[in-house]
Structures are given as C-alpha cells and as structure tokens.
Amino acid sequence: MEKYAVIGKRVPRIDGKEKVLGQAKYAADYALPGMLWCKVARSPLPHARILNIDTSRAEALPGVKAVITAKDFGGWTWGFMATTRDEPPLATGKVRYLYEAVAAVAAIDEDIAEEASDLIKVDYEELPGVFDPEEAIKEGAPVIHAYRPNNVSVEYHWNFGAVEKAFARSHIVREDRFETGKVVTGFLEPPASLAYYDPSGSITVWPAKQSPYFHYRHLAACFNLPLNRVRVIQPFIGGGFGGTKNDSVAGDFCVVMLSKKTGKPVKYIYAMDEVLTTCRRRHNMVLYNKMGMTKDGILTAVETRVIANGGAYTAIGPLTMYLAGSGNTLPFKLPNFKYDAWRAFTNNPVSAAMRGHGFTHTRFACDTQMGMMAEELGIDPVEIRMRNAIENPKPGEEYRTVNGIGIKTCGLKEAMETAAEDTLWADRDKGPKRAGPVSYGVGISGTSYQGGARQLGHQSCGAIVRICEDGTVNLLTGATDCGQGSDTVLSMIAAEELGVRYEDVSVKRVDTAYTPVDPGSYGSRVTLLAGQATQLAARDAKNQLLEAGARAWKVKPEDIEIRNGSVTMKTSPDKRVSFEKLAKIACYEGSGAVVLGRGHSAYGLEAIDFNAGTGNGGTSYSFTAQTVRLGVDMETGKVDVTDFFIAHDAGVPLHPVSVESQNQGGAVQGLSQTIYEQFIMEKGRTHNMTLLDYKMPRSTDVPDIKVTDIITDDPDGPFGAKEASEGSIVSTPPAVVNALRDATGVWFKELPVTPEKIVKALKEKGKWLK
C-alpha cells in the first residue's frame, strides 16, 4: 500500500470548477443595494506642504454624499512596527510622493465620484524632492519625515566572524556594484474593497487581501473598534505576490470612513494606473558586494553594503532589509559575514515586500559574483557551487549558519547534480554557439529561500475541522489562497490526516467572524504553518471519532484504522464500515455530540533580532538549482529565453501540480525582472503607468520550463513539506545573468538587462554586430 492516500496525488484544485465557470467572485464582483462609489483625489506633486484643502465644490455636486480628508482620520497612522507607524490613510500636512491620496469622495455613481474628486482644490507649497536613495541619505538632502532627519528609514550593521582578517587571508577578493530593478508585483486583479459600516458600530468589508487579518487589525485600530466588530469576508483573490495586498492601502480605509459618514455601503476599485503609480512595489537596491575565496574557490567572507530605495513610507521595510541580509548566508557555507544596510526615504511610491522578499537581491549579487570568481579561478560553475554548498545534515542533526539560521534538510547538492545531469546543461557544448546574429548561452545558479516565516505568537495559524454527520468535513482556516493552491493543499492535509476522501473536504474563504486568526499569505508559510494547524486539527477530530468508535464497538481507539473514507478494525481487517457510519455514531452518541477538531501551528519559535541580524526566521529552507538556455541577438540585443530547468527541494511536494506551477510562475516572474520589466522613473514620476507601457511577459515571451522535485522530507513540515512558492524567483535572475555571460562574454550587474544595455555593453567590448 502506498504511504499516503491523498498526499502527493495530482488531485484537481478544489477551486478549479468555480474558477473555470467564472463563478469565483473577486472583490470587484460584489455589490450591495444603495451602494456608493468612492474615488480618491491625489497629489500632483511628489513633495509638498498641504496649505489648504477646499472640498466645497465637490460637496455641492449633485450625487455626492460625502468627502473626507486627513482630518477625518484624526492623525491615525499605521506601519509595520510601533516605532515606524509613519503612514496616514490620507496625506496629513504633507505629500511625500506623486499621486499620494489627499482626499476621497463617495457618490451615487463612479462618474460623479470621479468628477467630484477633480473638484477638490488643494493649495500646495512645493518642496524640493529627493528621488535617488544614495542622494537621499547624504547630508543636506531634503528631509522627508521629521522623525528621521537623515532620511534613513531603516539601518542595520551586522558583523559575524572576522571579515577583514578573512579577506586579508583570501587568495582572491572581488568587489562589484550590483543593482536590482524597480518592479511591480503585477497581480491582474486591481485592489478593490466594498465596505459597510453598520451605524450600531461594526464594520463588514469584502477586500482583495492576501493577509486579511492584517487588514482586520488595521481597521480595528483605525476606527477604534474591538476586533469582534470587524468582519473581513474574503473574496477570491486575483493574485497577490506580497506588498499591496498584504497591507492596507489608502482606498481600503477611505471606503470604511465614507461608509461611516454616509450610512451606506461604499465600493472602490483601483484603476490599473493607480496600481502602477501608488501601490507597493519591490525595493530597488544598490548592492556593493565584496567576496573572498581561497585558491580552491572556497568562500572565506562576504561583505555586503546595501542602499535601498524605500520610497515615501516605511511599510514593511525593516523586514525587507533583515531578509536581504539574513539570507546572504545561504545556501553556501560562509564563515565570515558583514552586512551594512540603509533603507532610504525618497519621494517615490512606497517599496515593500514582493515574492522572493529580500533574498532575491542579495542572492542575485552573491551567486553572480561567485560565478565571476569561479571564472577567474578556472573552476567549473557547478563545481564551485558543489564545493561551497551546505551539506544535507544527517537526520536529527542541524547545520547552523554564522548568523543562526538552522538547516535540518538541504537538497542543494542533489539539486545541482540533477541540474548538471539534465541535457540542458550536460549537452551545452553540443549545439551551435552561434546561428546568424544569435549567440547562445547556458547558465546555472544555486540558491535558497526561507519558508514558513514565523516570529512570535501573533503569527501563529489556526484551523478547525468540523465533522458533519454524513461523514463530510468542513475545514475552517484563516489562511488565504490567493492563487497558490493552498486551499487544495490544506484540504489534502485534512483528508490524509483524517482518513477521508479529498472530495469530502470543503473549505470556504476566510471570514474573520468565524475562521481562526492567521497572519496570511506571505513568507511561503501557508502550507507549513496553516498546514500544521490543519494537520493537528484533523488529528484532534480523528481522536474524537476513534474514541466514539471505540466506545460503540467496545475496542480500543488504537485498534481502529481510517483510510480513504473507510474504517477497519485492526483485529478483524475484513470488517469494514464507512467513514459516514463512524461520523454518525460520533455525532449521535448519547444525547448527541459536536465533533470539532482544533489546532494551531507550533513549530519551535526562535526570536529574530533585526539589529543584531541573528535568528532563524523560517521554519525550514528550500534549495534550488536552475539552468537556463537563451539566445542573444548580437545586433539588436534582444534576448530569447528558450528553456528553464529547475531542480527544487520542497521537502516533499504535497500537491505536485501546485509545486510545479508555483515554480514555473515564480521563474517567469523572476525572468521578467531580469530582462523585461522596469518602471521608468524621473523625479518621482512613473512614466510607464499603464500595462501598455509597463510590459509584463506574455505566452510568447516565456521559455519551456521543466521542474524536478528533490525530496528531502523535512522534519519541520507537514508530511515533510518545505516551501515551493518563492525559490524559483530567487534562482532565476542569477541563472539568466550567468547564461547572458555565456552568450555575450559580458557580466551584467544591473537589472533589468534590457536590449539597450546589452547593445551598449557589446559596443564597449567591440562585439556589437552592425
């Protein structure tokens, strides 16, 4: 008999049918009778003092029901930490980036709301702005926040081991400047929220949130209500990828305030140009990276100096800067490590989390630099990674990095070997290197990502498993499936643990009035932590069923076995009853019973220290080896990426379809920020503010992608699972840059590597084809 009845099977997604029928409802699809429409008035300047706001003409427009400004929020601000709550729902006293929200209106239709928002007259005193992060932290730069007169929003200085001594003893030391791009998360569903503030003092909202419980806490704080009077009902979510939908944004607060003022439901749907100019984006980082090696290519030390473009507010920046540094000690053995990081306030839209949070920047720099040094030392790119890779610890043992990250399983070496054996890499010298103007290249990378992000108890996940009398199951979790497939995986976990069929488990969207609190979808944590909560809840329910069965059949609970919807006695295996029968016995026993299992995540917590840089922020860590084949047109600089091979250690893939799909999607997103996407910015202005101009990859722009699972069976994951959602967005940029080097002879250190940059570099090298 196979080990698992459900886990590891290619079951159809639990939400597949609703989605292909067009029946899955997203925030913008909800409406209520008497609903008003909200529009937000935005600042035409990137940095200015607000002298006066005149809303009288907007208020006088027929059809307008309310207008709000900062004063309605009474100075309330929010942010990631108590010391960094610097962002108001509507600009207060000052605007700090172009198109920052200044006022909002509610009207009977969208056109009137739009017209009214244009009638709001704001007098500004323009202030000099600062847009470049390195300029922003220089003496004398315009000050963006009075509480941070040096424009440094976050600053860390960590030092592990003895970096200087190690460099002095190294055979070679290299220093390079790298830069990561200005990119958007790129969800297709613009944020939207429908809100109703019941005059008796409670809020109900249907918002597009991948972390609905953050929003629930924000609304409770902003409107000074107890949590049990804030009800967030989760629609389907049209992609998240971190940042905007993990946090609250201006419109989210405005709809609730406008509903409070009017007594009517209020709805707001962001337009895509508002998304591209005002929503959270990935940090753009400048990285000065110094790496030392022995003559055998063994890493001796890394010193990384990062200056990040933080934009106008802090948001989740302290975590971004922590992760960028913390992840630098993976996936290679690194005895000495120094990290100095500054997150600068600038008059740009706010930078925040995005898939591959933090890790993607420093892994791009370090993996690329390792490739450069391998070349200098004449060591094969696979070999150098194998020599430095963290070994897979023996069962029961753990590897600790110099900054305290604990690794219990590491599939990097196996992944590198697998990638090296695949034909893409193994046959790389067999095909033509050149065809007409096109030069071909193959590249490789080896990276890691943190899964199961956990800090303290407020980040715990809960689950409730309810057994229905007919043997079907309701799974209630606070976890949010924003597309990654977690509702499917959690249902599989519940089914496996209980011994019921997958199709007998039903899971509904989050409703904060009923589902247990959960931090949400970020940090590749849902399968691990909501998964563990689900497993424990299912186990609890199962124990109740076994006890009821034992009483009815006069056997011991441990004599009863449940698998795939049927119940057998170990003592007489030919006797078999249905799970439904057992459920009925348990529910109807005596005067009746309620069979509810409950669980919460409990993988050991290890506090992380942002200022010291120590800690173990993940439950476990995934490892990825990736190869890439591409062609570069040496005349136009156009890049055609044809193949990806990804060997990914996700512990045990619980739902292989989702693991593959996450790897594929992450890799394409990673490819896009390596060669396609970037905001064109000038003095805080986003020039490409529609999807016509901000280009995301289409079906014709992406390679064929093969994904292979490396099985390491981690002890700290339900059924051995580790993360699968973010590893490939970290592995792709260095692998692509490595392949570009192979094709062109140029190491590109600044993302995205556009055709213009390629042509410029080829010209400098005298390799450009006219």
| Binding of other proteins by 718 (CB under 8 A) | no
Binding flags for other proteins, 355-394, as an x/- string (CB under 8 A) = ----------------------------------------
Determine, following the binding rule CB under 8 A, whether residue 433 of this chain makes contact with other proteins: no
Shortest reach from residue 530's CB to other proteins, in Å: 17
Residue (614 or 664) nearer to other proteins, CB: 664
CA separation for the pair 178, 273 (Å, rounded): 29
Query: Closer CB to other proteins, residue 236 or residue 313?
Result: 236
17 versus 138: smaller Cβ distance to other proteins? 17
Closest contact distance (angstroms) between CB of 706 and other proteins is: 9
Residue 487 touching other proteins (CB under 8 A): no
Is 247 within 8 Å of 316 (Cβ atoms)?
yes
Closer residue to other proteins (CB): 28 or 465: 28
Alpha carbon distance, N-terminus to C-terminus of the chain: 65
| Interhelix angle 531-553/486-498, nearest 10 degrees | 30
664 touching other proteins, by CB under 8 A: yes
> In this chain, which of 21, 146, 456, 594 binds other proteins, going by CB under 8 A?
21
Q: Which is nearer to other proteins, 19 or 556 (CB)?
A: 19
Query: Which neighbouring-strand residues pair with 40?
Result: 104
C-alpha to C-alpha distance for 393 and 413, rounded to whole angstroms:
12
Q: Where are the alpha helices (DSSP H) in 310-453?
A: 317-326, 359-377, 381-388, 412-421, 423-426
Regarding 475 and contact with other proteins (CB under 8 A), the answer is no
Number of residues that bind other proteins (CB under 8 A): 55
Please identify, using beta-carbon distances, which residue of 152 and 691 lies nearer to other proteins: 691
- H or E stretch covering 649: strand 639-649
Q: Which is nearer to other proteins, 29 or 713 (CB)?
A: 29
- Report the site for other proteins in 561-590 (rule: CB under 8 A): none
Q: Which of residues 219-248 bind other proteins (CB under 8 A)?
A: 236-241
Nearest CA to 326 out of 610, 524, 730 is that of 610
Q: Which amino acid is at 358?
A: G
Rg of the Cα trace of the chain?
A: 27
Q: Is 352 in the site for other proteins (CB under 8 A)?
A: no
Of 129 and 665, nearer to other proteins (C-beta) is 665
Among 26-34, 130-138, 359-367, 524-532, the segment contacting other proteins (CB under 8 A): 26-34
Query: Is 685 strand, coil or helix?
Result: strand
Query: Cβ 666 to other proteins, closest distance in Å?
Result: 8
List all residues 6 or more positions away from 21 whose beta carbon is below 8 Å from its beta carbon.
Answer: none
Question: 417, 363, 718: which is closest to 538 by C-alpha?
Answer: 718
Q: Which is closer to other proteins, CB of 114 or CB of 155?
A: 114
**Which of 353, 360, 278, 346 lies closest to 679, judged by CA?**
278
Q: Which long-range contacts (CB under 8 A, 24 or more apart) does 124-129 make?
A: 124/43, 124/44, 124/45, 124/48, 124/49, 124/50, 124/51, 124/95, 125/48, 125/49, 125/51, 126/45, 126/47, 126/48, 127/47, 127/48, 127/49, 127/94, 128/47, 129/46, 129/47, 129/347, 129/683, 129/684
**Neighbouring-strand partners of residue 406:** 400
Residue from 8, 15, 195, 352 touching other proteins (CB under 8 A): that is: 15
Least distance (Å) between residue 417 CB and other proteins: 24
Q: Which stretch binds other proteins (CB under 8 A): 282-290, 406-414, 602-610, 665-673?
A: 665-673
Give the one residue of 592, 700, 766, 770 binding other proteins; rule: CB under 8 A. Answer: 700
| Contact call for residue 699 and other proteins (CB under 8 A) | yes
Q: Which of the ranges 246-254, 426-434, 698-706, 735-743 carries the binding residues for other proteins, by CB under 8 A?
A: 698-706
Exactly one of 320, 484, 521, 627 binds other proteins (CB under 8 A); that residue is 484
Among 89, 356, 485, 523, binds other proteins (CB under 8 A): 485
Q: State how far the Cα of 486 lies from the Cα of 488, in Å rounded to an integer.
A: 5
Containing 737, the helix (H) or strand (E) segment is helix 727-744
- What x/- string results for residues 495 through 514 when contact with other proteins is judged by CB under 8 A? --------------------
Q: How far apart are CA 240 and CA 760, in angstroms?
A: 35
Q: What are the beta bridge partners of residue 103?
A: 41, 69
Please list every residue from 257 through 286 that binds other proteins, using CB under 8 A: 269, 271-272
Binding mask 174-213 toward other proteins (x if CB under 8 A, else -) reads ------------xxxxx-----------------------
Is 437 a binding residue for other proteins by CB under 8 A? The answer is: no
Pairing state between β 560-563 and 462-467: unpaired
Interaction of residue 158 with other proteins, rule CB under 8 A: no
The reply on whether position 486 binds other proteins by CB under 8 A is no
In the set 16, 44, 437, 745, which binds other proteins (CB under 8 A)? 16
Q: How many CB atoms lie within 10 A of CB 1?
A: 5
The least CB distance from residue 675 to other proteins, in Å, is: 15
Q: Which residues of 565-587 are buried (b: 16+ CB within 10 A; e: fewer)?
A: bbbbbeeeeeeebebbebbbbbb
Which CB sits closer to other proteins, 227 or 696?
696
Q: Which of 331, 483, 531, 653 binds other proteins (CB under 8 A)?
A: 483
Residue 8 tokens read as 């590891």
> In sequence order, what are the residues at sequence separation of 6 or more whose Cβ sits closer than 8 angstroms to the Cβ of residue 486?
479, 480, 521, 526, 527, 530
Residue 108 is a binding residue for other proteins (CB under 8 A): no
How many Cβ atoms sit within 10 Å of the Cβ of residue 555? 16
Looking at 320-328, 408-416, 658-666, 737-745, which segment touches other proteins (CB under 8 A)?
658-666
Q: How far is the CB of 732 from other proteins (least distance, A)?
A: 10
8 A C-beta contact, residue 290 and residue 174:
yes
Q: Spell out, one character per residue from 677 to 696, where the chain touches other proteins: x when CB under 8 A holds, - when not.
A: -------------xxx---x
* Only segment of 153-161, 325-333, 584-592, 654-662 that touches other proteins (CB under 8 A): 654-662
Smallest gap from residue 594 Cβ to other proteins (A): 33
Minimum distance from residue 234 beta carbon to other proteins (Å): 13
Q: Does residue 723 touch other proteins according to CB under 8 A?
A: no
710-744 in b/e burial notation, b at 16+ Cβ within 10 A? bebebebbbbbbbbbbbbbbbbbbbbbbbbbbbbb
Q: Are the C-beta atoms of residues 308 and 341 closer than 8 Å to each other?
A: yes
Which amino acid makes up residue 37?
W
**Considering only residues 204, 284, 450, 661, which one is a binding residue for other proteins as defined by CB under 8 A?**
661
Sign of CA dihedral 659, 664, 665, 667: positive
Residue 667 CB, nearest approach to other proteins (Å): 6
479 binding other proteins? (CB under 8 A):
no
Q: What is the DSSP letter of 655?
A: S
- In the complex, minimum distance from the CB of residue 643 to other proteins, in angstroms, rounded to a whole number: 12
Residue closer to other proteins by CB (options 20, 81) is 20
Which helix or strand (DSSP H or E) is residue 662 part of? helix 656-671
Strand pairing category for 473-477 and 462-467: antiparallel
**Per-residue contact string for residues 28-67; x = within reach of other proteins by CB under 8 A:** xx--------------------------------------
Out of 12, 74, 149, 745, the only residue in the binding site for other proteins (CB under 8 A) is 12
Site residues for other proteins per CB under 8 A: 10, 12-13, 15-26, 28-29, 186-190, 236-241, 269, 271-272, 482-485, 657-658, 660-661, 664-669, 690-692, 696, 698-700, 702, 704-705
